[in-house]
């Protein structure tokens, strides 16, 4: 289909709503991508006409709901190019997916004295679970540093890794800097040094901008959240290689994940079911499947070219503002811009932009170690999606210029 932003925007009613008696300029898709109407309508159809539980009973309604639910899993497996839908586990989001791996695979395989390798650009969701695990078992954290341009210092990779390193957990795309990490190259080099190394990739910020092939990347685990991908909140995905999932113990116990239960012992079904105790987020999973189907209508090259055009336009305009500095100037980045302005706190700037109808995020973005690396308390972040247009970025530039002039008199 021809890529027409004006046509695409018709699928997003929020983009036309008034905001503070002004037009709404939504530039916060790194927090949550907007859902097209087709996703909301598909979830509403399930809730109104198909609602029941899955994997339970012999009723036709339950069987149909199960079919829709598992079809969504198949859709995710194709989206990630996994070898089987049995490698796709539903979670509440990226955070829960990483915790699942840390508390199952991690507790099975990490011992006192071992090392867990992270990077300086990680989101708290890919720091805290590993920190908790390392503190409980006596392991250590090692960190790959970030350059002034906002790129990983891969020349330090071989020094940071050691024979004691059991895990490399890293983000595919930085939620602050927009930097796209060369995941395939990193995994290849790391596993050449340590063949038994387990690699988990946080793909929360990547899936909305990049095609992902988990087999080609060589990732052992890959995670993302539905709401970053124009889907609903409350649903996430953990991809794991089948051999690893089969060897991991369940995390939660309850119904739907058992073969049999006696007072003496419980036996579990195979993955992915053994990791999905209780009633799953059925409507959200179906909604995520619909979101992926919606996005599959677009040519990824067209989306990339459009987002990169807006990224360049926004970056060039913002750089003309005196005292403004962009963090993260990698030549390979997605359409995310984090910036600071001399003498202006990001929270104050964010408040003024809000009054101008500009929806952005101001704060540390759950990446405080990265803020410390760049010696800033927070940044203002604008994140651009496939449904944004030139008016959105021009409004950002003009409102930022106006706000900075107000602060500097």
Alpha helices in 81-172 (DSSP H): 94-101, 107-109, 128-137, 157-160
The secondary structure of residue 146, as a DSSP letter, is B
Handedness of CA 80, 81, 82, 85 (dihedral sign): positive
Distance CA(69)–CA(20), nearest Å, equals 39
Residue 221 β-bridge partners? 200, 240
Q: Going along 163-292, which residue ranges are E strands? A: 165-171, 198-202, 221-225, 236-240, 258-261, 266-268
Distance CA(219)–CA(82), nearest Å, equals 11
Distance CA(209)–CA(300), nearest Å, equals 8
Helix (H, G, I), strand (E, B) or coil at 177: coil
Q: Is 366 a catalytic residue?
A: yes
CB 147 within 8 A of CB 156: no
Q: Taking the CA of residue 344 as centre, how many other CA atoms within 13 Å lie in the half-sphere pointing to its CB?
A: 29
- Indicate which residue of 31, 132, 277, 366 is catalytic: 366
Backbone region of residue 179 per phi and psi (left: phi > 0; alpha: psi in -120 to 50; beta: other values): beta
Residue 21: CB atoms within 10 Å: 7
Residues labelled catalytic: 366
């Amino acid at each position: 289909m021809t890529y027409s932003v004006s046509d695409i925007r018709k699928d997003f009613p929020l983009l036309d709503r008034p905001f503070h008696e002004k037009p709404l300029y939504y530039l916060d898709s790194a927090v949550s991508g907007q859902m097209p109407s087709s996703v909301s309508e598909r979830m509403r159809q399930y809730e109104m006409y198909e609602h029941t539980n899955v994997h339970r009973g012999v009723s036709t309604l339950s069987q149909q709901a199960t079919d829709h639910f598992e079809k969504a899993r198949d859709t995710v497996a194709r989206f990630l190019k996994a070898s089987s839908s049995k490698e796709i586990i539903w979670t509440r989001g990226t955070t829960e997916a990483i915790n699942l791996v840390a508390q199952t695979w991690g507790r099975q395989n990490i011992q006192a004295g071992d090392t867990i390798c992270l990077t300086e650009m990680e989101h708290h969701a890919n720091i805290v679970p590993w920190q908790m695990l390392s503190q409980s078992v006596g392991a250590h954290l090692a960190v790959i540093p970030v350059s002034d341009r906002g790129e990983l210092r891969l020349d330090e990779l071989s020094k940071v890794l050691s024979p004691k390193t059991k895990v490399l957990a890293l983000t595919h795309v930085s939620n602050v800097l927009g930097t796209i990490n060369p995941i395939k190259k990193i995994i290849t080099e790391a596993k050449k040094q340590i063949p038994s190394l387990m690699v988990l990739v946080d793909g929360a910020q990547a899936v909305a901008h990049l095609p992902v092939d988990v087999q080609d990347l060589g990732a052992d685990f890959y995670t993302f959240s539905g709401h970053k991908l124009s889907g609903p909140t409350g649903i996430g995905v953990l991809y794991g290689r089948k051999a690893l999932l089969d060897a991991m113990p369940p995390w939660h116990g309850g119904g739907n994940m058992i073969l049999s239960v006696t007072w003496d012992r419980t036996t579990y079904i195979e993955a992915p079911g053994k990791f999905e105790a209780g009633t799953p987020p059925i409507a959200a999973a179906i909604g995520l499947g619909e979101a992926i189907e919606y996005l599959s209508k677009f040519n990824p090259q067209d989306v990339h070219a459009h987002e990169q055009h807006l990224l360049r336009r926004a970056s060039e305009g913002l750089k003309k503002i005196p005292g403004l500095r962009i963090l993260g100037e990698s030549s390979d980045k997605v359409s995310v811009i984090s910036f600071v302005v001399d003498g202006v706190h990001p929270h104050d700037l964010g408040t003024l932009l809000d009054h101008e109808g500009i929806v952005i995020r101001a704060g540390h973005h759950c990446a405080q170690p990265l803020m410390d690396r760049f010696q800033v308390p927070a940044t203002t972040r604008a994140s651009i999606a496939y449904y944004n247009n030139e008016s959105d970025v021009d409004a950002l530039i003009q409102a930022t210029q106006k706000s900075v002039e107000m602060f500097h008199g």
